[in-house]
């Protein structure tokens, strides 16, 4: 459990991340609007054009928060540099993808490279803690799995960034739960980074929620997803993070299992959902379309876009609660 000084420090870092993101978004939005870096909001009848790549504000928030965290929690600069390096590399891959779309196989490989700062600085412990078991030894395999530990959440988060506020709202819930677990385990540095991610995402959600005024693009979703992977490794909460990521993993797996290979949204000919004339969303009955989480939610009937996001938030809240319970299991941490 954190002491009072560390607890206040963690909250301060999160507040700074929130403010940095909140005040960066309008600047980025107007800048990208002037340069016509725009994306179509496909789930609206009038198909408005929205400024893209504003996920850079999340990276800005995390950068400022990391600087403050290194000042408050002295002696942890290597962990913080590894975290920020991972976020920056994944964000750069996202920015490239936003400007010049990458292939469905190239993007996961490049996001795996975002794990390089963690590997180079040696910020990992090859003895992960598993629930009901305790510490296990994976000295040889663990470093080989680290690129996957970054690439999988990064791309899974990217795949759920399909509706206004879906990525920011769900990931804010998830990262708050991770911050809570890390706080309970007495790790103020990683807890501050997790809560900083939540702070940045809450600020971003205020602009990205329905009807969206900004889009994060792959820049934001890959950076935020890679941040979750980095937090899991640095904070030694790998299994707990996997439990919390259940809705993301479900969404990614359903898509991959339906299509049978890695794919990009733009490659899919049979759409999983369609927009109805009344503005609500409906699951299609096409056999070849991927069974995504959104399609599962809409299987029982049409819903509005905010209602779908609301269900996604409820499911993430459930998986995050289960993650906290997993920590409390014998051998949790």
Q: Interface with another protein by CB under 8 A: which residues?
A: 130-133, 136-141, 239, 242-243, 246-247, 249-250, 253-254, 257, 283, 285, 291, 295-297, 299-301, 311, 314-315, 318-319, 322-323, 326, 329
Strand-pair category, 273-275 with 134-135: unpaired
Shorter beta-carbon distance to another protein: residue 45 or 314: 314
* DSSP conformation class of 1: -
Residue 294 CB, nearest distance to another protein (Å)? 11
Residue 172 CB, nearest distance to another protein (Å)? 18
C-alpha 112/C-alpha 106 separation (Å) is: 10
What radius of gyration, in Å, describes the C-alpha atoms of the chain? Answer: 19
Residue 101 CB, nearest distance to another protein (Å)? 28
* DSSP conformation class of 149: H
Kindly provide the b/e burial profile for residues 182-194, where b requires at least 16 CB atoms within 10 angstroms of the residue's own CB. bbbbebbbbbbbb
Shorter beta-carbon distance to another protein: residue 59 or 293: 293
Residue 157 CB, nearest distance to another protein (Å)? 16
Shorter beta-carbon distance to another protein: residue 40 or 328: 328
Residue 319 CB, nearest distance to another protein (Å)? 5
The per-residue DSSP string of 170-224 comes to HHHHHHHHHHHHHHHTT-HHHHHHHHHHHHHHHHHHHHHSSSPS---HHHHHHHH
Measured over the CA atoms of residue 282, residue 283, residue 288 and residue 293, the dihedral's sign is: positive
Shorter beta-carbon distance to another protein: residue 99 or 138: 138
Shorter beta-carbon distance to another protein: residue 14 or 298: 298
């Amino acid at each position: 459990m954190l002491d009072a000084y560390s607890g206040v420090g963690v909250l301060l870092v999160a507040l700074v991340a929130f403010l940095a993101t909140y005040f960066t978004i309008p600047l980025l939005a107007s800048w990208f609007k002037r340069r016509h870096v725009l994306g179509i909001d496909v789930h609206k009848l009038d198909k408005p054009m929205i400024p893209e790549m504003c996920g850079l504000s999340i990276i800005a928030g995390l950068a400022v928060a990391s600087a403050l965290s290194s000042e408050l929690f002295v002696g942890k600069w290597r962990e913080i540099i590894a975290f920020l390096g991972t976020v920056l590399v994944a964000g750069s891959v996202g920015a490239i993808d936003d400007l010049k779309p990458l292939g469905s196989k190239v993007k996961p490989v490049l996001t795996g490279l975002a794990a390089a700062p963690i590997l180079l600085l040696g910020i990992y412990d090859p003895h992960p803690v598993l629930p009901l078991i305790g510490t296990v030894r994976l000295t040889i395999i663990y470093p080989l799995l680290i690129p996957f530990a970054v690439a999988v959440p990064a791309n899974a988060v990217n795949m759920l960034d399909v509706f206004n506020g879906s990525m920011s709202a769900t990931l804010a819930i998830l990262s708050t739960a991770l911050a809570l677990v890390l706080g309970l385990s007495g790790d103020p540095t990683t807890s501050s980074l997790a809560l900083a991610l939540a702070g940045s995402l809450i600020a971003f959600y205020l602009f990205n929620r329905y009807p969206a005024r900004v889009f994060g693009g792959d820049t934001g979703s890959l950076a935020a997803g890679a941040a979750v992977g980095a937090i899991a490794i640095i904070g030694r909460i790998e299994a707990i993070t996997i439990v919390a990521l259940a809705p993301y993993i479900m969404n990614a797996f359903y898509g991959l299992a339906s299509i049978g290979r890695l794919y990009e949204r733009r490659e899919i000919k049979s759409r999983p959902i369609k927009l109805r004339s009344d503005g609500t969303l409906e699951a299609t009955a096409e056999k070849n379309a991927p069974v995504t989480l959104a399609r599962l939610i809409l299987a029982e009937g049409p819903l509005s876009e905010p209602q779908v996001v609301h269900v996604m938030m409820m499911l993430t809240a459930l998986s995050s609660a289960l993650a906290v319970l997993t920590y409390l299991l014998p051998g949790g941490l």
